[in-house]
Amino acid sequence: MRVPRVAYFPDSFHEVNGVAHTSRNFVAFAERQNLPFLCVRAGDRGQALEQAGELRTLELGRGWASVGIEKDLAFDALFWRHAGVIRRELERFRPDVIHITGPSELGMLGAYFAWKLNIPLAASWHTNVHEYAGRRMNWLTQYLSEKQGLATERSIEAGALRATSRFYRLAKILFAPNEELCRLLEDATGRPCRLMQRGVDTSLFSPSRRSRKDNDGSFVLGYVGRLSIEKNVALLIRIERELSAMGLTDVRFMIVGHGSEEASLRASLTQADFAGVLRGTELAQAYADMDLLVFPSHTDTFGNVVLEALASGVPAIVTGDGGPKFIVSEGKTGFIVADEAFASTIARLMQDCPLLQDMRCNARAYALRCSWDAVFERVYAGYLTALQPGKFIAPNMVQAERTG
């Protein structure tokens, strides 16, 4: 029995988003465990093949046919020009399973070669593309009545979900970051779905990074993520106005990220610092200097930033939709509220210092129980259900045999 050889085709790797963050940690896990692992990804270095121990990476450049999706993410309609080199590397590596992360050009190529070379396909769901499709029709629905606009968005979401589900049906095993999505995917595709949650680096993200003095006279509300319409960032403007109306004017926003809604936020928020995209210790310090994370998204499948905030000792307020509600423990590490209750909940915490301090301690304690190794051990266990029984073993079983 041996650990399966995995060829991984992530939609995103170098960018600033949840798929890229998870993918970088997946590669790091494979490298730490010295697992046979091939990562085929897009980058800006042209064509580059590297190997370190059992880890191989094939990086392929996007070209002039690329269409921008986000500020730092694109789709290359001519990425199939790399099919020859990908096939040669797959035949050389001989994977037991191909794992894709979505219907991007990488995902399409991964699914094609899984079929062509008769290799089991695994697929993980990282982005609620159907909900994004609905939200991004705002340019049209804003001219309709509220009822017509909502009906149009729901129709677009349903159509996008049907189309995406057909693609995911190609896989033998699916992964999703929360149980709600797993059930949705199993109903839509008829395929089994396992959890692929997120971990956090608690040595990087830590309350010890805090540089602000607790008595500096301001209460810092943080937001980290894309500044885009599907993240519901317009709610930040409403929150500031409602807090001001309550007489709470010592509030300052720390906005980390970029996106199409940045100009609107800059024009409307009166007390806000825009840090742009931060990474590493700069990002960790930004989290630690917050008093509360405000995350109004209704479309996130998990919410990496929420877990990073908790690791930094920062409670979070999230909506009741999507993945973040599975991270936050109501009244212990934060609150799960409707849009109209964000401001009143923030006001409550601003006026109850003992409760806020308890939440800071609880948040850190919860994050310490989350590790990337545990996340990816479960992914490998999921692979075994799609492979020949009795032939493969999970990495943690290998480790147990070595130490046993």
For the residues 236-251, what does the mean pLDDT come to? Answer: 96
Is the per-residue pLDDT at 390 higher than 90? Answer: no
Q: Check residue 132 and give its pLDDT.
A: 46
d(CA 146, CA 56): 51
Q: What is the maximum span of the chain, computed from C-alpha positions, in angstroms?
A: 67
What secondary structure does DSSP assign to 283-322, as a single string? HHHHHHT-SEEEE--SS-SS-HHHHHHHHTT--EEE-SSS
Q: Which two tokens stand for residue 106?
A: 């990488």
pLDDT at position 1 over 80: yes
Question: What local confidence, expressed as pLDDT, does residue 152 receive?
Answer: 60
Going by pLDDT thresholds of 50, 70 and 90, the confidence category of residue 323 is confident
How big is the chain by its Cα radius of gyration, in Å?
22
Give the per-residue pLDDT at 381. 93
H/E run at residue 8: strand 6-9
State pLDDT tens for residues 330-347: 999 999 999 999 999 999
Top mean pLDDT of 150-164, 212-226, 252-266 is at 252-266
Instruction: Give residue 30's pLDDT.
Output: 96
Query: Is the separation of the CB atoms in 66 and 37 below 8 Å?
Result: no
pLDDT at 19: 87
What mean pLDDT do residues 184-207 have?
A: 92
CA-CA-CA-CA torsion sign (64, 70, 72, 78):
negative
Write the DSSP symbol of residue 223: E
Read off the pLDDT of residues 114-132 as tens digits, 9 standing for 90 and up.
Answer: 999 999 999 998 764 544 4
Q: Is there a contact between 239 and 340 (Cβ–Cβ < 8 Å)? A: no
Tokens 């919410």 belong to 303
pLDDT tens column, 215-230: 788 999 999 999 988 8
The better pLDDT of the pair 307, 154 is held by 307
pLDDT tens for 56-108 read: 999 998 877 667 666 566 778 889 999 999 999 999 999 999 999 988 899 99
In terms of average pLDDT, the best of 78-82, 142-146, 399-403 is 78-82
Instruction: Return the amino acid letter for 362.
Output: N
Q: What's the confidence (pLDDT) of residue 130? A: 43
What is the pLDDT at residue 162? 75
Helix ranges (H only) for 34-173 are 83-93, 105-116, 129-135, 138-141, 146-168
Cα–Cα distance for residue pair 320/324, rounded to 1 Å: 8
What pLDDT band is residue 213 in, cutting at 50, 70 and 90? confident
pLDDT recorded at residue 146 = 65
Question: pLDDT of 40-57, one tens digit each?
Answer: 999 877 778 899 999 999
Q: What is the pTM of this model?
A: 0.76
* Confidence category of residue 368, pLDDT binned at 50, 70, 90: very high
Tell me the two tokens of residue 113.
Answer: 């070669």
All domains in the chain, ordered by first residue: 6-199+371-403 (3.40.50.2000), 207-367 (3.40.50.2000)
pLDDT band at 134 (very low <50, low <70, confident <90, very high): very low
CB 224 within 8 A of CB 253: no
pLDDT tops 80 at residue 142: no
For 377, residues 6+ apart whose C-beta sits below 8 A from its C-beta are 394, 395, 396
Residue 158 has pLDDT above 80, yes or no: no
Give the chain's mean pLDDT.
88
pLDDT of the residue at 322: 83
pLDDT confidence of residue 71: 59
- Average pLDDT estimate for 194-204: 91
Residue 140 confidence class, pLDDT cut points 50, 70, 90: low
Answer whether residue 272 shows pLDDT above 80.
yes
Q: How confident is the model at residue 181 (pLDDT cuts 50, 70, 90)?
A: confident
